[in-house]
Structure 1
Amino acid sequence: MDLSIILMIIGIICIIVSFFLKDTSKKLEQDLEDLSISIYQETNSIKKRLKIVEEELLLEPNFTVKPKQRESFSRNMQSVPQSKDHTTGKAFQVNEILVNQVIQLNKQGYPIEEISKMSTLSKSQILDILKNEGNR
């Protein structure tokens, strides 16, 4: 037999065998697609949870972490801005995240009335925060 005939027979046999073998690349593509979809869903879920936590923190202006020691309590109290409410004359504490949010909203050009609605602080508290620029 001639070498060319042998090579043709081997080629034909390989083509016929390839029709009967399963294509593993399609399974890999499907697995990769499933993985990317699940990661996308988990990322969206985490973003939603984070948004809920941020909203809860903004709704609780007196939120403070309970310290383990007496020393850390005094340090925490120094880091939380204190101001005086002009309507009642009482001192109040504002969460640092809320202070940063008020400052950023003011820099973005929001009026004080709208910042008050968004942050659940009174107008006098917002004015005091902006006057101090969040400094302690």
Structure 2
Amino acid sequence: MSTLIILLLILSILLFIISFFQKDHSTNLKKEVEDLSMNLYQETYQINKRIKVLEEELLVDDQLMKKELSKSAKPVVNEILKNQVIALFKQGLTVEQIAKQSALAQSEVKNVIADFLEQ
């Protein structure tokens, strides 16, 4: 019985010593997870930086396009108003009177009349 206890004690001491020389797999796994998370954070940061640059470019392009459209765009007058302006013009009313009755600016009234006269 005592030999069995001594044998078990020697075996336990031997296994304890062997455990110190074994590689720790969890350390390697922790390092891999840490490296992976750092790579993920770096890639996310790079993507966010690129998105910000694209948003700024789109915002600038959008503002430039709005400015160009506002400079070049003629005011749009619907067909009913055009017909009303033309009918009032045919009746001999002045541009100011037509503008008051149709609730259009005088420049818009002039444009409608000019378009009518060109046809």
Residues in 1 aligned to 2:74 and 2:32: alpha-carbon distance in whole angstroms: 59
Between the aligned residues of both structures, percent identity stands at 42
Superposed displacement of residue 43, structure 1: 0.4
Say whether 1:12 aligns with 2:13: yes
RMSD: 3.0
Residues in 1 aligned to 2:37 and 2:74: alpha-carbon distance in whole angstroms: 51
Instruction: For residues 48-80 of structure 1, give each alpha carbon's deviation from its aligned partner in whole angstroms, at most 9, with x where no partner exists.
Output: 00111111111112799xxxxxxxxxxxxxxxx
Structure having the larger proportion of residues in helix: 2
Q: Which has the larger radius of gyration?
A: 2
Structure having the larger proportion of residues in strand: 1
Give the aligned partner of residue 114 of structure 2. none
Query: Which of 1 and 2 has higher RCO (CA within 8 Å, sep 6+)?
Result: 1
Give the aligned partner of residue 31 of structure 1. 32
Q: Which runs of 5+ in 1 are unaligned?
A: 65-80, 93-136
Give the aligned partner of residue 40 of structure 1. 41
Alpha carbons of structure 1 residues 91 and 18: separation in structure 2 relative to 1, 3 Å: farther
| SS of structure 2 residue aligned to 1:60 | helix
Q: Which runs of 5+ in 2 are unaligned?
A: 76-119
Alignment-mate amino acid for residue 55 of structure 1 = E
TM-score using structure 1 length? 0.45
Alpha carbons of structure 1 residues 91 and 5: separation in structure 2 relative to 1, 3 Å: farther
Residues in 2 aligned to 1:46 and 1:9: alpha-carbon distance in whole angstroms: 59
Match of 2:73 among 90, 104, 109: 90
Give every structure 1 segment of 4 or more consecutive aligned residues whose post-TM-superposition deviation is greater than 4 Å: none
User: How many pairs align?
Assistant: 72
